[in-house]
Chains A and B, each alone.
Chain A
Amino acid sequence: MQAVCVGSRSAYQRLVKRHLKSISHYAYRLLGNQKDTQDITQEVFLRLWINAQKWDSEKSKLTTWLHRIAHNLCIDYLRKHTRIQTQDSFDDEAAHSPANNDESTEEINDKTKLLREALSALPENQRSALSLCHYQGFSNKEAAAIMNISVKALESAIARAKRSLREKLTINS
């Protein structure tokens, strides 16, 4: 990272290769469509290049800092755009999943579709909290730092998200 600070492009490339997957996955789980995910991911790494000197290794890990940039960009994006777009995109993705005549696979696809809908209907902070702790593997403390909220608020968001998902999936099934 120090090399990126002094303008080393090869160091930047190594960082991109190391963190691209987790950043793009996090952005996708928040935004729900591929096009915006790619735009946001690109912007995250551009900001990494521009603001490399602002990163403080004593304050946070690099991955935490990058996720925070991604989080802020995604939240800004979601606030500027309507939620309908995200909903439609999730449906498109689900429709592109491989077709299968097997009944159990259809059942799984239905459940997955239901879950996608339930996830996209969650408020951004709950979706983000769930994504960071459940999928990205951050501790509650780290996730709270990324979202710039207290650990209690994060735990509350996770609890509400899980309850909401459970209720929606139970009702629909």
Chain B
Amino acid sequence: MTLEKFTRIIDLHGTETARWTKTLRGECESFVANNVEARMLLNQQWQVEESMAKLEVPSFPGLETRVLNQSLPERNRSFIEEVMNWLIPEESFGKQAWRSAMAACIPLVFGIVLGNYFSFGIGIEDDGFQYWDDELTMLSLTDYTETNF
């Protein structure tokens, strides 16, 4: 270990030994124990870090209100975005659950409307007339002579 190498480690990782590279930690610690310049360097860096920790940022009263109240430009949202925002609103969970249920009903309503107007090639055999013909034929063939009035 040299002083230059140790300085580099201090510059990169600071004075906390736990943050030093594991492989070099032991070597660094013994170097500090045996080298006056290394100890001085460590002490100087410790003072810098202590001062840095005490450096406070002032509070910014009213900044949050200012940011929240600034006028935001309106978004040019696409139709899909509009629909999605309507279906999945952010405002409350109740509305969100309701709109999801609405969204789930959309395919059903769509299917009913389509099914009402289009057959999609599925024919319903209306054999009502044929059925009545059969009924009349059967009635005409029935022997009523055996019936006792």
Contact = CB atoms under 8 A, between A and B. Distances in A.
The dominant DSSP class at the B interface is helix
A93 B56 CA distance: 10
The dominant DSSP class at the A interface is helix
A46 interface: yes
A86 interface: no
A46 B55 CA distance: 29
Contact of B90 (A10, A134, A160, A166): A10
Interface in A1-42: 3, 6-13, 16-17, 20, 24-25, 28-29, 34, 37-38, 41-42
A150 interface: no
B64 A20 contact: yes
B54 A25 contact: no
Interface residues of B, number: 34
A7 B60 contact: no
Interface stretch (A58-66, A68-76, A110-118): A110-118
B68 A13 contact: yes
B48 A169 contact: yes
Interface in B31-76: 44-45, 47-48, 51-52, 54-55, 57-58, 60, 63-64, 66-68, 70, 72-75
B5 interface: no
Contacts of B77: 6-7
Given A6-B84, A108-B54, A162-B11, A38 B66 contact: yes
Interface in A114-170: 114-116, 119, 134, 155, 158-160, 162-163, 165-166, 169-170
Contacts of B45: 162, 166
Nearest to A168: B48
Contact of B54 (A13, A93, A112, A170): A112
B91 interface: yes
B91 A169 contact: no
Contacts of B74: 7
A165 B14 CA distance: 13
B12 interface: yes
Contacts of B66: 38, 42
A7 B78 CA distance: 11
A171 to B, nearest CB: 11
A8 B90 contact: yes
A116 B57 CA distance: 11
Given A11-B90, A46-B72, A115-B55, A37 B64 contact: no
Contacts of B89: 8
